[in-house]
Amino acid sequence: MIFDVLKQRWLRKEFEVLENSSRSKMPQWPQSLVILFDSEKVTDLTIFHNWCKELRIPVDNLTLIGSCKDVQKANKENVVLFDKKLLKWSGGIANAGVENALSKSYDLQINYYETDSELMRYLAMKLKSNFKVGYGHQNDSTYDLAVNVPLTSHALFISEIAKYLNILTQ
């Protein structure tokens, strides 16, 4: 119980730092992609590989970060998974895979989830991405472009992103 209070305090401080930091939002055609998603809702990861093809991004430059209920029970190949135990009791990231993903830079970030938890918001803000895409119902500090298409309309969602990227990178 006391540890939850310490975690919340650490998260509040991190949010303040992230909200006050600036980053380059200079859009260019992306060469790398990170997708933050709910692995409980998205079971077929081939849609993300298809998105890479549609956006002309090499699949090798794709990073998938998925939330799940229990990392020990979930097993998805080539996906960095995290659960509610992501934070150490004293603050900080307890998952080495997530820590590694947070240290890299990406050209494009897609926040592909419906449930906006504090951990998802933190990761969406903490990822070093030049351009972030999300949904309008998410916290507006987590994206540069909001695409309001149902999560089940995968093709329409990525075509909207491609359309706006074409406009912004010309």
Encoding tokens for residue 102?
Answer: 């947070």
Residue type, 146: A
> Mean pLDDT across the stretch 124-129?
92
Model pLDDT, residue 29 = 87
DSSP 43-101: --THHHHHHHHHTT--GGGEEEEEE-S-TTT---TT-EEE-GGGB-TTSSB--HHHHHH
Residue 20 has pLDDT above 80, yes or no: no
Better-scored residue on pLDDT, 89 or 42: 42
Residue 57 has pLDDT above 90, yes or no: yes
DSSP 5-18: HHHHHHHHHHHHHH
When the pLDDT of each residue in the chain is averaged and rounded to a whole number, the result is 87
**What percentage of residues in the chain have a pLDDT greater than 90?**
48
The residue written with tokens 């603050």 in the block is 91
Model pLDDT, residue 27 = 64
Could you report the per-residue pLDDT of 60-110, keeping only the tens digit for each?
Answer: 999 999 999 998 888 788 999 999 999 888 888 899 999 999 999 999 999
The residue written with tokens 């298409």 in the block is 149
Q: Give the strand pairing for 128-134 and 62-67.
A: unpaired
User: So where are the chain's domains?
Assistant: 2-168
Q: Into which CATH architecture does domain 2-168 fall?
A: 3-Layer(aba) Sandwich (3.40)
Which of 2, 44, 38 is CA-nearest to residue 154?
44
For residues 142 and 64, what is the distance between their CA atoms, to the nearest angstrom?
A: 17
For residues 157 and 122, what is the distance between their CA atoms, to the nearest angstrom?
A: 23
